[in-house]
Structure 1
Amino acid sequence: MSVGFVDGSLPGLLQSQAANRGGRVAMREKEFGIWQSITWTGYARRVRHFAMGLRELGLQSGDRIAIVGDNRPEWVIGELSAQSLGALPLGLYQDAVATELEYLLAASRARIVVAEDQEQVDKVLEIREALPRLEHIVYYDPRGLGRYEAPGLLAFPDVERQGAERDEAMPDEYDAALEAVRGDDPALLCTTSGTTSKPKLAVLSHSNLLSMAAQLQDVDPMAAGDEFVSFLPLAWIGEQMMTISRHVLVGFPVNFPEEPGTVRQDLREIGPRVMFSPPRIWENLVSEVQVMVEDTTPLKRRVQAWAMKVGGEAADDAFEGRAPDGWRRLRRGIAEMVAMRPIKNQLGLRHLRDAYTGGAALGPDVFRFFHALGVNLKQIYGQTEVAGISVLHRDGDIRYQTVGEPLPGMEVRVAGDGEILTRGPAVFQGYFENPEATGETLVDGWLHSGDAGYFDDEGHLVVVDRLKDVMSLADGTTFSPQFIENLLKFSPYVSEAVVFGGEHPYVAGIIAIDFENAGQWAERRQLAYTTFTDLSQKPEVYDLVRAHVVSVNGDVPEAARVRRFLLLHKELHADDAELTRTRKVRRRFVAERFESLIEALYGEDDSVAVEMEITYQDGRTASVKHDLRIERLDGRDGPGGPGAPGGLAAPGGAG
């Protein structure tokens, strides 16, 4: 597969795959516990008919449609159908609240929304009066919608049926529309993560998306027989690049889980060879293993500890280019048999050949954990604006602190101020109807990422943090908050961590516990609690988290050690604008929302009061005050150590 500019369109490649693969499986969806298959021929036919159904509804080239819901064949069919007509699809996160949908639908001026089910339809109907350009809502899960009556509300199969009738009456219309679509035409509106402001709409062409897929294929080839499970939001560029771009380029089957809660079982059944997930998924898997091990027998805990030690030694050998001797290989084989393989099988990772992480920084402890387990996890770096990936680890050349080397065809350099710049065929066309933001981001063909980084002596890119987030302490010490936060999140009892320094004399942080794991820990110790707030403020939980913070302090330079922290009274949540939909911390919003807590961390008090509003079952509300304890640590706390290798640099990922 050659790299660089790739001509043609995504739906055009689908038609080619259908012509070549015909009755082979293109997609599977699990329904009522049974995998239902869709062939390439059936897939292409449904795209053709739904496209003609959209044309029957008046959709024209250049129009926009939005798609919201869980991962289903209908999402992909809807997207490729719109692209067949030269229209622009926009993916929306299924957990977005109505106000978020309103902003994005208004910004894109979408004429049609393809919504999965009653929940999504209700959200769109709630905001419909504010969207005069919205004409139709097409749903593909009819449960609960039988009695709904609203102008333009249609069932997905009905639109397909209308399209089939139109196609029969005018058999050349679809082919003519598809023929008119060119590789450099806009193919997708994709939301940026919105860590510092409201999300922007990046315009990606067919060639942007396919060039990135071809570049990745050049480095890590996939075969048409490889299985892939699509379970992350299709509104995210990382899922788009696998489930659609690379899928139609290579021709491998895509599998859709029955429900979000069945993903683990579905992964075990399918046994995917490739998996791409943001750090939160890998972090959750680590926490799950840690909790499982803690819940087992003392003998199994000892076996697991020994196996992970052996696995860690093997991973270090691989990272440092050392050939293990026969004794080390034997020990690794035993560890694989007695511990590693059962864990990977339980997680659905046993058959993985290539595993990728991107979307945000992944802590080195998590990275090393999976390599100790024998999972070939590789870091990627990129953004929505480069169709997903521009830099990637190569097999046999993986390092904890880096994100690898640029993909073939992509140029990456670091500007004088430390900002990472990218140029190549996958770089986007600009932001939708936002020339000012486009001009600030695209300069002379170079994409300005807003990330700080540098190249090491071996040509690997090291991503430090967002350029705006790199902080300097009062004594001039520079540190990356993200790096410390990732070390803190390695604990199964920590869900999120946000650290601060800036002009302050020391580093301090706010930590949100993992309610489920911390709750199980408390129950095992017969520690009674009622709410998240109650559990987070238990002295025993503070002691648990303190021990972890002390351990983390031993892995960073003394000037950047966490001197004070408090346990937050609530979870950080995207609905409260504290996280993005891809679970990146929105540092500015967190700093504004919890300003009084941050000030208290640098004050003299031992606690800080917060006021919470609670709602009773009868609808009454009341304000309740809580005192949050501030934990103080001596700057020398921690077992000591050489500090973070290469400075406080944190590997980054696709935005």
Structure 2
Amino acid sequence: MNSPVRLFDLLEYQLKHFPKEDALAYKVDGIWNKFSTQKFAEMAGEVALGLDQLGVRKGDMIANITENNRPEWNFLDMGMMSIGAVHVPLYANLTKDDYAFILSDSGAKFIFVSSASLYETISSIAPSIPSLERIYTYDFIEEANHWHEITTLGKSVANPNERLASLKSRVSESDLAMLIYTSGTTGTPKGVCLTHKNLMANALAGAARMKSNPTERAISFLPLCHSFERIINCMYIYQGCSIYYAQSLQTVADDMKEVRPHVFATVPRMLEKVYDKILSKGNELTGIKYMLFKWSLGVGFKYDPSKASSLWYAIQYRLADKLVFPKWREAFGGSVRAVVSGGAALQPRLAKLFFAAGIPIYEGYGLSETAPVISVNYPETGGFKIGTVGTVIEGGEVRIAGDGEILYKGPNVMQGYHNREDLTQEVIDSDGWFHTGDIGEFDGPFLMITDRKKELFKTSGGKYIAPQVIENKMKESRFIEQIMVIGEGRKFPAALIVPNFLYLKAYCEHKGIHYTTNEEILMNPLIQQKFEAHVQKYNEPFAQYMKIKKFIVLDHEWTAETGELSPKLSLRRKVILHRYHEQIERLYQNETLTTQKITA
């Protein structure tokens, strides 16, 4: 067949050009269960025919929730879209209220859930959702309908090939394929309407840069309902790259050693955690090994793959690459040639370090509304530059507005927000430009994101502050894991800081500081002095009005489970401001600029 046009054409394309024995793989009870391209296509076809038998028609909405990525998600995804049904993938850690809103707003007819706990959650709200007819489960649950009931029904259809071909022929590239609800960092979730054309344009443009091939393996662990991971999976299928699903986020490190992936997608938060673990283990070394480790880090932080290095640096790098960095590569399986990072800003220093270790990180940028990629770095001479989010994808166009906002136009821009024409008109202007809400600029052909337009705030002195720039700089400190800069309408910027407790505890043990709780660590005068010194150090590059004058250090992490982070692990700024309102007010009550404050 020619180049695929609709999402389900990707599977037929792989089947024709490079059928595989391990198109998809998922570990169960210690064994990797592999599904061939042929089996993948058969399962998707049975799902399509079974849903058709149950009365699902073109345009019907079908929701899908799973805690961990698994092949069943793909079987259902390809199957439902083969008959023109619309996939509504959801995160597994939303609240009941969010689920109730999304299922009602989308008008979901069926929903698939992976586990007993999700089944219980959805069952409890199902009576309030008139459109919802049935709940199916991936896991076998005694009282629930299992998804195999659908494939069994599909197998019973007479002349299945003819019926399936007829159903597929009714679906066009302009038809709605997915309804992806934004994670809701602010306000009510919005349903992003994406057509087959939106998603395919993005998948094909991204695949041209990824340049994967049928000999490669990918490991997948970001949620498949994440638009970034979803489109990356489409690229894998198109180029014949085998997809191995990690068992969970907790097992990724072990799974990588077994799978030995060549490519994978991630978010900066995951890379930061990997670096923290490497740093923690390195600090346990002693003598010459510790000295070599620290020296190699210094060499790595100076690495720039896009520039020629001096002879002296080249000699140092070759030594570090021989003595230290091979262990890093082996931790990722030893075969990685490209890691694509998206969803948030990546610290350039970490990108340099991973590049130096032979684990190249290619940062990209986009939104769910753009299906999602707008720009991305890629592994080719002149194709990447650290500190940027790459060049604009083929077929797309970026313009920087007068206020610095990034405007985008391309075939991957959504059709609009479901049931919200008012919000659609706010972000897509009459000339078809999508207003991203991000502030950016070009460095030659490379796009740089400097901040979120809506996250810019103005101090009482009239100065605009871009918090993300400051936050990224502060996170270079080994002591700082997470940070949010505040100061709207105040005399100066301040910050809420979550320590890197892994490093902090190792530091305490090294210094002989006794502690029993996180709070006790933070009350130690030496630790307080360290935080003050590090904030002052990383304040140095900024203008006086941008420097953090006060800060609060918290005794616990921010997580998606506790509500401070979105499912994509980005800061929920409004939630954090509300949650720590009293501490922030106390912080600003005495606005003496020399005062630093730590509170648990």
TM-score by length of structure 1 reads 0.85
Shift of 1:516: 4.7
Deviation at 1:74, TM superposition (A): 0.4
3-state DSSP of counterpart to 2:280: helix
Within 2, Cα distance between the matches of 1:364 and 1:378? 11
> In structure 2, what residue type is equivalent to 1:346?
A
Contact 1:380 1:391 in 2 (8 A): yes
Per the TM alignment, residue 389 of structure 1 is displaced from its structure 2 partner at its CA by 1.0
Q: CA 1:164 to 1:602, structure 2 compared with 1: closer, same or farther past 3 Å?
A: same
Post-superposition CA distance 1:277-313 (Å, at most 9, x none)? 1111111111111111112223222111222233334
- What residue ranges of structure 2 are gaps of 5+ in the alignment? none
Aligned to 1:113: 111
Cα distance per residue 1:202-222 (max 9 Å; x no partner): 111112111112112223311
Match of 2:90 among 92, 106, 110: 92
Displacement, 1:400? 3.8
Any idea what SS the aligned residue of 1:204 has?
A: strand
Match of 2:369 in 1: 385
Are 1:339 and 2:328 matched, yes or no?
A: no
CA distance in 2, matches of 1:221, 1:364: 24
Amino acid at match of 1:185: D
Residues 1:236 and 1:537: Cα distance change in structure 2 (over 3 Å): farther
CA distance in 2, matches of 1:100, 1:461: 34
Contact residue 19 and residue 41 of structure 1 kept, 8 A:
no
**1:630 and 2:597 matched:** yes
For the residues of structure 2 that align with 1:73 and 1:188, how far apart are their CA atoms?
Answer: 18
Deviations 1:157-202 (A, max 9, x none): 2221121112x46542222111211112111111223222222111
What secondary structure does 2:16 align onto?
helix
% identical aligned pairs: 28
Change (3 A) 1:605 1:310: closer
Q: Cα gap change, 1:307/1:197 in structure 2, threshold over 3 Å: closer, same or farther? A: same
Counterpart CA distance in 1 for 2:347 and 2:460 is 26
CA distance in 1: counterparts of 2:104 and 2:511, whole angstroms: 51
1:129 aligns with one of 127, 152, 157: 127
User: What do residues 108-145 of structure 1 show as CA deviations (whole Å, max 9, x unaligned)?
Assistant: 12111111111211211122222222111111122xx2
* Equivalent-residue separation in structure 2 for 1:467 and 1:514 (angstroms): 28
Alignment map for 1:315-464 (pairs within 5 Å): 315-316=303-304, 318-319=305-306, 321-325=307-311, 328-348=313-333, 350-394=334-378, 395-397=380-382, 398-443=384-429, 444-456=431-443, 458-464=444-450
Change (3 A) 1:122 1:592: same
Deviates more, 1:420-429 or 1:248-257: 248-257
Kept after mapping to 2: 8 A contact 1:138/1:156? yes
Is the CA contact (8 Å cut-off) linking 2:301 and 2:350 kept in structure 1? no
Residue type of the alignment partner of 2:216 = D
Distance 2:488 2:386 in 1: 26
The alpha-carbon distance between structure 1 residues 410 and 374, as it changes in their structure 2 partners (threshold 3 A), is same
Taking the aligned partners of 1:352 and 1:12, their CA distance within structure 2 comes to: 28
The residue number in structure 2 matching 1:13 is: 10
Contact 1:213/1:241, CA 8 A, preserved across alignment: yes
Q: Secondary structure at the match of 1:229?
A: strand
Cross-structure match for 1:599 = 585
Would the aligned equivalents of 1:308 and 1:372 in 2 still touch at CA under 8 Å?
no
Counterpart of 2:493, as a letter, is: V
Say whether 1:53 aligns with 2:50: yes
The amino acid of 1:342's aligned partner reads K
Distance 1:130 1:312, change over 3 A: same
Q: Which residue does 2:266 correspond to in 1?
A: 277
**C-alpha distance in 2 between matches for 1:437 and 1:482:** 25
What SS does the aligned partner of 2:136 have?
strand
Aligned to 1:201: 191
1:550 Cα deviation after fit: 2.7
Specify the alignment match of 1:307 in structure 2.
Answer: 296
Picking from 68, 76, 79, the partner of 1:78 is 76
Higher relative contact order (CA 8 A, sep 6+): 1
Most deviating of 86-95 and 471-480: 471-480
User: Which residue identity is paired with 1:223?
Assistant: N
- Aligned to 1:172, what secondary structure does the other structure show? helix
Distance 1:41 1:555 in 2: 57
> Given that residues 364 and 487 in structure 1 are in contact (C-alpha distance below 8 angstroms), is that contact kept between their aligned partners in structure 2?
no
Q: Secondary structure at the match of 1:468?
A: helix
Could you say what secondary structure the match of 1:360 adopts?
coil
Give the match for residue 497 of structure 2. Answer: 511
Give the Cα–Cα distance (whole angstroms) in 2 for the partners of residues 451 and 280 of structure 1: 20
Measured after TM superposition, the shift of residue 535 of structure 1 is 4.7
Equivalent position SS for 2:455: coil
Alpha-carbon contact 1:287-1:491 (below 8 Å) kept: no
Residues 353/22 of structure 1: CA separation in 2 closer, same or farther (3 Å cut): closer
- Structure 1 unaligned runs (5+)? 607-628, 633-655
Cα 1:180–1:336 shift into 2, 3 Å? same
- Contact (CA 8 Å) 1:574, 1:581: kept in 2 or not? yes
When structure 1 is superposed on structure 2, of 43-52 and 124-133 the one drifting more is: 124-133
Which residue of the partner structure matches residue 181 of structure 1? 171
The Cα offsets for residues 383-410 of structure 1, whole Å up to 9 and x where unpaired, read as 1111121112244444443222211111
Q: Is the 8 A contact 1:410 1:424 kept in 2?
A: yes
Structure 2 residue 464 is the aligned partner of structure 1 residue 497: no
Rounded Cα–Cα distance in structure 1 between residues aligned with 2:247 and 2:561: 25
Closer, same or farther in 2 for the Cα pair 1:199/1:121, shift >3 Å? same
Q: What amino acid sits opposite 2:274 in the alignment?
A: L
Q: Which moved more, 1:433-442 or 1:296-305?
A: 296-305
CA deviation after TM superposition for structure 1 residue 585, in Å: 1.1
Tell me the equivalent position of 1:266: 255
Per the alignment, in what secondary structure is the counterpart of residue 173 of structure 1? helix
Alignment size in residue pairs: 593
The AA in structure 2 aligned to 1:105 is L
Aligned pairs (5 A) from 1:487-636: 487-522=473-508, 527=513, 529=515, 532-604=518-590, 630-631=597-598
How far the C-alpha of 1:493 sits from its partner, in A, is 4.2
User: Quick check: 2:21–2:34 contact (8 Å CA) kept in 1?
Assistant: no
CA pair 572-308 structure 1, distance change in 2 beyond 3 A: closer
Q: 1:132 to 1:540 in 2, by over 3 A?
A: farther
Task: State the alpha-carbon separation in 2 of the partners of residues 32 and 420 from structure 1.
Answer: 47
- SS in structure 2 at match of 1:52: helix
State the partner residue of 1:651. Answer: none
Deviations 1:507-532 (A, max 9, x none): 21111234455445545666555555
What SS does structure 1 have at the residue aligned with 2:324? helix
CA contact (8 A) 1:74 1:140 kept: yes
Report SS of the residue matched to 1:602: helix
- Other-structure match for 1:230: 220
CA spacing shift, 1:193–1:464, aligned 2, 3 Å: farther
The letter for the 1-side match of 2:326 is: R
Q: Residues 110 and 517 from structure 1, CA distance in 2 versus in 1: closer, same or farther, beyond 3 angstroms? A: farther
TM-score by length of 2: 0.92
Q: Deviations over 1:550-605 (max 9, x none)?
A: 33123433432211111124433334543211111122232233222222222228
The answer for the alignment partner of 2:154 in structure 1 is 163
- Check the 8 A contact 2:260/2:332 in 1, yes or no: no
**Residue matched to 2:30:** 33
Q: Distance in 1 between matches of 2:135 and 2:183?
A: 26
| Code of the aligned partner of 1:232 | L
* CA gap 1:23/1:370 in 2 versus in 1, 3 angstroms: closer
Closer, same or farther: CA 198–573 of 1 in aligned 2, 3 Å? farther
2: CA distance between counterparts of 1:113 and 1:541?
Answer: 50
